[in-house]
Every structure is written in structure tokens, then in C-alpha cells.
Homo-oligomer: A and B are copies of this chain.
Amino acid sequence: MNSMQRAEVLIEALPYIKQFRGKTFVIKYGGSVMENRELTREFIEDVALLKLVGINIVIVHGGGKRINAMLDRVNLDVKFEQGQRVTDGEVMKIVEMVLSGQINKNLAAELSAHGLNAVGLSGKDSGLLKAEKKLTEGKDGELLDLGYVGEVREVNSSLLCSLIRDGYIPIISPVAGGYEKGETFNVNADYAAGAVAGAIEAEKLILLSDIKGLYKDINDEDSFITEIHVDQVKAYIEDGTISGGMIPKMECCMNAIDKGTNEVVIIDGRVAHSLLIEIFTNAGSGTMVKA
């Protein structure tokens, strides 16, 4: 690549920098990218670049695989019903330790090592996330109580706003406090990211996932959707175009938009620098769901 081509890439980024400078992006970080050292390193470089050109970043992370490993180790069952983890009090303690005490702090440390001022938080800090028990619909439509599985009810954004204003990058573990003294809930990271994005009126919610995005027909590469209105998503679900495993992911996008987020982007975390490519190049890389 010659100098001129390099300059063109930078110039191409110009209108995007102009557009997003001073805005806030909430990024859901999870899945494969989290388990792969190389992808993680690239993700951190991407975040650093976004921050430097003046975009405020908030990260909400997930953590499934490491939780399972730890539960195994303490001889607790790894049990899921309808895709939700069965979470009694003992399980909840392990979940929280892994999420808030291991993944969260390691990510904060890695970002900080790159000269970013990252601060690891959980929903229990300064009332950041308050949740209530969420019942899960069973196979036969009955409601199942899976324990400390929660749904975010309140976001106290003042701590986030203070930290963002002072140039910090908040990293949020998807663990919330409850309304009863001492309660702790495990909340879905995608949904938590959506609630946070809504509460701070983020410009974009970006979901780093293990899929490329949305296809009209999953078997037809050419039917990839780069941009779609939330109402169309609903229509596609109703007419069966969207089905199976894509439904929960799409419900999460719809929920995030419903909570006040302007725009949700699903990008493929398995592709190197997919974050940067999505934001700073005309090509883009994923599916954007708009309000």
C-alpha cells in the first residue's frame, strides 16, 4: 500500500470522525472475541482509536464460558432452561465473582495498559443497575423461576456521566443489585447494554457478536441486510423471515431501541478490527437497526 492510498483511508474516515466526535457509543463485548487473545488485542486498539478521535466509549461485557468453567470447579451444576442459566444463590455468587472480579478487572487492566483510563464497574456500584427477577417462559408457555435471573429496571447514569466527562471508559459487568437488601441479579449483557445506551442517550449501541449480521435468507449470502428499520424487523419476525436463533438477538435490538437507543449495530466480533471498519469506512461491516 503506498502513501497516497494510506492518505485516502484517513480521508475516508474524516466525515465519520466529524459525525461522531463528542458522542457516546456503548459496546457490548462478548463471545468469540473475548476468548481469543489476538482479537482482544485488536479490539483494544480499535477502542483506543475511537477514544482518541473524541468518541466516548462505554463497554458492557458478557462472560459465559468462564462462568461454566468455574461452576464446574466448585461442583455446581451448569444448567440452562430455554437458554437462560438456572441461577440459585450459590451459582449467583460464582457468576458474580467471575464477571465482576475476573473478566471485568482484567479488561480494565488491559485497556489501562494501553494508556486508556478504564474503570471496571458492576451494576452494584453507586446503584448503577437495579434489577427485578425475570421469569422465563417455559416450553409450554408456563413461567419458570430460574432464581437470580434479573431484568434491568433502573439505570443510575450519574456515575457514568461523571466518568465519561472526566475521560474515563466505564467497563460494566452485567450484575445488578435488587430492590431487596442484599439481592444480586445476573442480567443478560446484551439487554444491559441496551438499557445503559438508552439511559445515557448513546449515539450507537454496538453488539460484537459471533454472527455476521442479519440475512433475509440465511442460505443466501447476497441477502445480507446492512440497514433495517426496527418496524421491518418486527414485520420479518411476524412473517417468519427472521426465525430461530436470530429472534432473541433481534428482540434485544428492539428492546434497546425501545429503551431510547438511537441505533443498534450488530457486527461480527470474529473479524479483525470489525469495529473500526464499521465505524470509519464506507464499507461498514454489519447490520444496522435504526429507530
Contacts and interface: CB of A to CB of B under 8 A. Distances in A.
Interface stretch (A5-13, A145-153, A219-227, A235-243): A5-13
A48 interface: yes
A142 B32 CA distance: 46
A272 to B, nearest CB: 6
A270 to B, nearest CB: 13
A110 B158 CA distance: 18
A6 B278 CA distance: 11
Contact of A120 (B53, B98, B124): B124
Interface stretch (A80-88, A100-108, A253-261): A100-108
A233 interface: no
A5 B5 CA distance: 10
Interface stretch (A131-139, A208-216, A280-288): A280-288
Q: Which of A18, A93, A109, A159 has the most CB of B within 10 A?
A: A109
A159 B115 CA distance: 14
Interface in A61-80: 70, 73-74
Interface size grouping (class) on chain A:
35 or more
A56 interface: no
Stoichiometry, as copies per complex, reads 6
A12 B12 CA distance: 15
A17 B119 contact: no
Contacts of A115: 18
Contacts of A8: 273
A126 B117 contact: yes
Interface of A: 1, 3-14, 17-18, 21, 45-46, 48-49, 52-54, 70, 73-74, 93, 96-102, 104-106, 108-110, 112-113, 115, 117-122, 124-127, 158-159, 162-163, 166, 168, 175, 177, 181-182, 184, 271-273, 276-277, 280-281, 283, 285
A224 B70 CA distance: 48
Given A14-B49, A119-B121, A126 B100 contact: no
Contacts of A105: 96, 100-101, 122, 124-125, 175
Q: Which 3 pairs from chain A and chain B are nearest by CB?
A: A101-B101, A7-B273, A97-B101
A1 B11 contact: no
Contact of A11 (B49, B109, B113): B49
A117 B159 contact: yes
21 contacts: A1-B5, A4-B273, A5-B9, A6-B277, A6-B283, A10-B13, A11-B46, A11-B49, A17-B52, A18-B115, A52-B54, A53-B54, A96-B102, A97-B97, A101-B102, A106-B124, A109-B124, A109-B177, A110-B182, A112-B126, A119-B126
